[in-house]
Structures are given as C-alpha cells and as structure tokens.
C-alpha cells in the first residue's frame, strides 16, 4: 500500500479540526432550542471557525510539502546528497589549497631548528632587501662568515648533545655581540653568517674580533682541555655583486685564509671609503 504523503496527513487533520470547530456552535444552538434565525447565525459562526482553522493550518501544510519533497529526494539519492557531495568536494579543494599555502609560508622552513636563527634561505631572502637599501642610499654593507675551528674533530670529542649546546651558545654570542639591526643566521654546519648594514670592512673585522673574544672568554665549550675557538672571513658589497652569494663567496675565501693562517679574522679585498686600519687579527 502506498505510503500516505505527509501533506495529505496534515490536510486530514485540518479538516477534522475544522469539522469540530463547526459542529460546536451548531450543537449548542440545537440543544438550546434556538429559532431558525439563531440557527442561521450559528451556521455563520461555524463557517468562520472553519475558515480560521484552515488559515492557521495553511503554513503547516506548506511545511509538510517541503519536508515531503526533501524526504523523496533523499530516499531517491538525489538533491540533498548531490549538494552535500559538491560541498564536500569544494571543502576538500580549499583544504588542499590552504595546506599548500601553509607549506609555502611555513616559518619552520626559514628557521634553523637548532639555534632558532634564520637559516640560509631566510638570510638570502632578507639580504636582497639590505643590498637594495645599500645601493639606494649609497651606503656600505659587509658580510661575515664565522666558523668554529676544527669542528669535525670537536664534534667527535664533544658528542652530539654538547655540540648542539656549543652551536646554540655561539648563535647567542653572535646576536648579543652585534647590533640589533644586524642580520645573523646559520649558514651551514658550524658556520654562521652576519649581514652588517652600513658597515665598512674595518667595522666588520672589529665586530668579528669581539665575537671571537667573547666565544673564548665565555668558554662555551672545551676540546682536549682547550676552549672552542672561531675564525671569521669578511667581505664588503661591491658594485657588481648581484646577490648575497657573491659577497659570501669572497667572505668564505677570506675565512679559509684565516683558518690556514692560524685562526683569526681575515678580510677579502674590496672598495673602502678610507684606508683600512686592520685586515687580520
């Protein structure tokens, strides 16, 4: 037997209520022995009651039709299910795009997890702005690479945990010894980089000398009874430098010379606004 529609059920109940509403005044009039005129009046009141009940129940009938339509579509696997599938696909697409954007903007990709300093990629990006600013303002800029001496051997002697502690303390020493607006990062391994805006080569050499002294004085690590030491190479921005890599390449060669000459600070040749006071320590 076919199931009765919800709207039909509501209509039947509405008719029943209307009949009760109409019968009440008529029954009362007959019971009271009313005259024909009173019966006519009672019939009019009954008609008004029917109309009022039907008017009040009309929204319920519309709601019943809507619910019945939804039920039919749901039972047939159409309509609402299709809408839900489309919404779900859209949400999944948005989630994928958001995840991709999050990966591109993930701060962890630009931060060295051990020291908390900007990593090489972050320093390279930020150095572009510093180079552009130095060219725009016609001011000098220096780059320094600082490396812990004998790091491979020291790493074996100290062990992993102590080596990581030494690297973290070296990073803290660099940040504390340099200016607040200098850019300090971890370049690779036990090599750190410092971008020094508005610094001549002499300023950069002096700054790296202070860092070396603090590393030795603080005795941040001991290898074979001797404190960990550091060497540094310095280079300045030149007119044909395109990126930080150009400057850092010269600083790396200066660093290698400093280490070969017995640990210290070495400056790569470059333009200067005044005669140098010091190039090696």
Which of 73, 101, 129 terminates a domain? The answer is: 101
Q: Pick the residue with more confidence: 276 or 154? A: 154
Per the model's pLDDT, the better-predicted residue between 44 and 97 turns out to be: 97
For residue 279, being part of any structural domain is answered with no
Domain range spanning residue 84? 6-101
Residues 80 and 166 reside in one and the same domain: no
230: pLDDT confidence band, cut at 50, 70 and 90?
very high
- Give the domain CATH number at 253: 3.30.70.270
CA R_g for the chain: 43
Judgement on whether residues 44 and 148 belong to the same structural domain of the protein: no
Per-residue pLDDT at 232? 97
Min mean pLDDT across 16-20, 198-202, 230-234, 238-242 is at 16-20
Same domain, yes or no: 87 and 210: no
Task: Report the pLDDT value the prediction gives residue 73, as an integer from 0 to 100.
Answer: 61
Q: How far apart are CA 212 and CA 206, in angstroms?
A: 10
pLDDT above 50 (res 155)? yes
Say whether both 31 and 148 belong to one domain.
Answer: no
pTM of the model: 0.59
Do 157 and 75 fall into the same domain? no
pLDDT of residue 109: 78
115 and 241 part of one domain: yes
Residue 173 has pLDDT above 60, yes or no: yes
Asked if pLDDT for residue 146 goes beyond 60, the answer is yes
Residue 265 belongs to what H/E stretch? strand 265-267
Task: Give the chain's mean pLDDT.
Answer: 76
pLDDT at 3 over 50: no
Q: Is the pLDDT of residue 160 over 70?
A: yes
pLDDT on residue 58: 57
| Main-chain dihedrals φ then ψ at residue 156, nearest 5 degrees | -70, -40
Say if 256 falls within a structural domain: yes
Q: Which residue has the higher pLDDT, 272 or 236?
A: 236
CA distance 227 to 215: 9
Same domain, 62 and 122: no
What integer pLDDT is reported at residue 273 of this predicted model? 40
Mean pLDDT of 25-43: 53
Report pLDDT for 262: 80
Residue 119 pLDDT exceeds 90:
yes
DSSP 3-state of 183: strand
**Inside any domain, residue 276:** no
Considering the domain architecture, whether residues 82 and 173 belong to the same structural domain is answered as no
Indicate if 166 and 37 belong to the same structural domain: no
Q: Under 8 Å CB-to-CB from 222, ≥6 apart: which residues?
A: 228
Total count of domains within the chain: 2
Indicate whether 74 and 115 sit together in one domain.
no
Find all residues with CB under 8 Å of 275, minimum gap 6, and list them.
none
Q: What is the mean pLDDT of residues 124-131?
A: 96
- Structure tokens given for 281: 């320590």
Asked if residue 274 belongs to a domain, the reply is: no
* Residue the block writes with tokens 């400093």: 258
- pLDDT tens sequence across 5-26: 545 555 555 555 555 555 555 5
User: Would 277 be classed as within a structural domain?
Assistant: no
The answer to whether residue 51 is domain-embedded is yes
Which tokens hold the place of 146? 């600082």
* pLDDT at 251 exceeding the cut of 80: yes
Give the mean model confidence (pLDDT) for residues 119-146: 96
Using CA atoms of 115, 197, 276, 205 in order, give the dihedral in degrees to the nearest 10: -10
Domain stops at, among 70, 101, 132: 101
Domain end marker among 56, 85, 101? 101
Q: What is the pLDDT of residues 67-82, one digit of tens each?
A: 566 566 666 655 455 5
pLDDT at 43 (0 to 100): 57
Work out the end-to-end distance of the chain between its first and last CA atoms, rounded to an integer number of angstroms.
103
* Same-domain status, 20 and 79: yes
Confidence tier at 101 by pLDDT (50, 70, 90): low
The answer on 156 and 252 residing in a single domain is: yes
Burial class (CB in 10 A: 0-12, 13-18, 19+), 258: buried
Instruction: Identify which of 97-106, 162-171, 261-270 has the greatest average pLDDT.
Output: 162-171
């Amino acid at each position: 037997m076919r199931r009765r529609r919800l709207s039909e059920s509501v209509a039947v109940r509405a008719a029943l209520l209307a009949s009760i509403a109409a019968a009440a005044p008529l029954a009362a009039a007959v019971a009271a022995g009313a005259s024909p005129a009173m019966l006519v009046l009672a019939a009019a009141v009954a008609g008004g009651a029917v109309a009022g009940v039907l008017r009040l129940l009309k929204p319920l009938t519309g709601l019943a039709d809507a619910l019945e339509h939804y039920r039919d579509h749901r039972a047939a696997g159409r309509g609402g299910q299709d809408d839900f599938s489309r919404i779900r696909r859209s949400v999944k697409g948005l989630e994928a795009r958001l995840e991709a954007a999050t990966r591109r903007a993930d701060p962890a990709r630009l931060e060295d997890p051990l020291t908390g300093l900007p990593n090489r990629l972050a320093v390279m990006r930020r150095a572009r702005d510093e180079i552009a600013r130095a060219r725009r303002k016609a001011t000098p800029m220096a780059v320094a690479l600082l490396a812990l001496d004998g790091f491979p051997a020291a790493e074996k002697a100290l062990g992993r945990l102590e080596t990581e502690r030494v690297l973290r303390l070296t990073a803290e020493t660099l940040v504390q010894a340099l200016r607040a607006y200098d850019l300090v990062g971890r370049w690779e391994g036990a090599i750190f980089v410092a971008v020094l805006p508005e610094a001549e080569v002499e300023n950069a050499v002096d700054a790296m000398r202070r860092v070396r002294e603090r590393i030795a004085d603080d005795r941040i690590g001991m290898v074979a009874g001797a404190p960990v030491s550091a060497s540094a190479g310095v280079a300045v921005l030149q007119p044909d430098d395109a990126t930080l890599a150009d400057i850092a390449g010269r600083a790396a060669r200066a660093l290698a010379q400093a280490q070969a000459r017995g640990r210290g600070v070495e400056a790569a040749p470059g333009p200067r606004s005044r005669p140098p006071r010091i190039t090696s320590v």
